[in-house]
Amino acid sequence: MHFPVSGVDVFPLVPPLVAFLVSSITASAGVSGAFLLLPFMVSALGFTTPAVSPTNLIYNIVAIPGGLARYIREGRMAWPLTWVVIIATLPGVFVGAWIRIRYLPDPKAFKLFVGLVLLYLGVRLLYETTGRYLKSKEQTKNLEKKFRERVQLIKGESAGRIAAGLPPDAVVKTRSVSLRKIEYDFWGETFSFSTPVVFTLALVVGLIGGIYGIGGGAIIAPFVVSILGLPVYTVAGAALAGTFLTSIAGVIVYHLLSLTAVGAQASVSPDWLLGALFGVGGLLGTYFGAYLQKYLPDRLIRGILGSLVTFLAVSYILQYFI
């Protein structure tokens, strides 16, 4: 099938299948999978114009509601964190979209940028699987211990049936919200973070996400989990929600830029049909991934993502110099 906007030729079942496989894994960590699908579109499908960024954002818009709905229904949404991320990320997305079409229209330079972003994500995630990191995060260590104990308990009671690691009462409960600090409880542990720190981070993340075309969740999730010590079980829903709303804003910005003199010099209009096909697979994948998270230990989720991301990052950086 030929997609005239992007110039891509691909069998129509390939985009949704690839998106389902990717998002099933990444949604467990609060990542839509867009950061992996963009390299697929660039390298496998040959979609190298600036329009690949807003097309990737369309995937987010269609895909994320599936996983987001499950996180909300099961009470694993840290809403104060969600709103801080959304409010701060939006301005960055606007500026990032302009930088993408103004300074990074060349596919080779864009690949280097993508590779550097992915390298940060991959190394950070792999570090989080080490014993040194886990020892430094006592609360994360406690959650890991509870997870293992519950799995063993339910396995014994259910005669070998697959056991959900998170109990129904493992929900997020907000303790306090202020301009300085936000606190919430999850599964018997109290977590807190600095509101200004997360706001500043989300602003920078929005800028990078706007350039890359990923919404920003793939960057902010590893940071708040590793640096701030928040559990991935509570960060995932917030990251997806932030990515969803900022992706909508990003598509609007790219569309408006396509009407300007700067946008007229480059192909920046998204391929709606291709993005929607990826999104349909992602919609099913993120819903399944949010369900799958309850059965996976935090450490395993980080390890899988870290390995995939680091491999992609190294290959993209090498392509720039070869």
> What does the block give as tokens for 49?
């114009």
DSSP 231: -
Beta strands in 78-223 (DSSP E): 172-177, 181-186, 189-194
Whole-number Å distance between alpha carbons of 312 and 309: 5
- How far separated are the first and last CA of the chain, in Å rounded? 32
38 in Cβ contact with 312 (< 8 Å):
no
If we measure between CA atoms, which residue out of 98, 75, 5, 80 comes closest to residue 45? 5
Other CB atoms within 10 A of residue 114 CB: 24
pLDDT tens, position by position, 83-101: 998 888 888 888 887 887 7
Give me the pLDDT at residue 170, please: 76
Give this prediction's pTM: 0.73
Q: Rounded to whole angstroms, what are the CA distances from 177 to 5, 84, 180, 302?
A: 46, 11, 8, 28
Residue 270 confidence class, pLDDT cut points 50, 70, 90: confident
Domain boundaries, the chain: 22-321
pLDDT tens, position by position, 130-175: 766 666 555 566 666 666 666 566 555 544 444 445 677 678 899 9
**Per-state percent for the chain, helix, strand, coil, to nearest 5:** 70, 5, 25
Residue 194 confidence class, pLDDT cut points 50, 70, 90: very high
> What does the block give as tokens for 198?
């997360």
Largest CA-CA distance found in the chain, in angstroms, rounded: 66
Instruction: Read off the pLDDT of each residue in 307-311 and give the average, rounded to a whole number.
Output: 80
* φ, ψ dihedrals at 318, nearest 5°: -65, -35
147 in Cβ contact with 297 (< 8 Å):
yes
89 in Cβ contact with 246 (< 8 Å):
yes
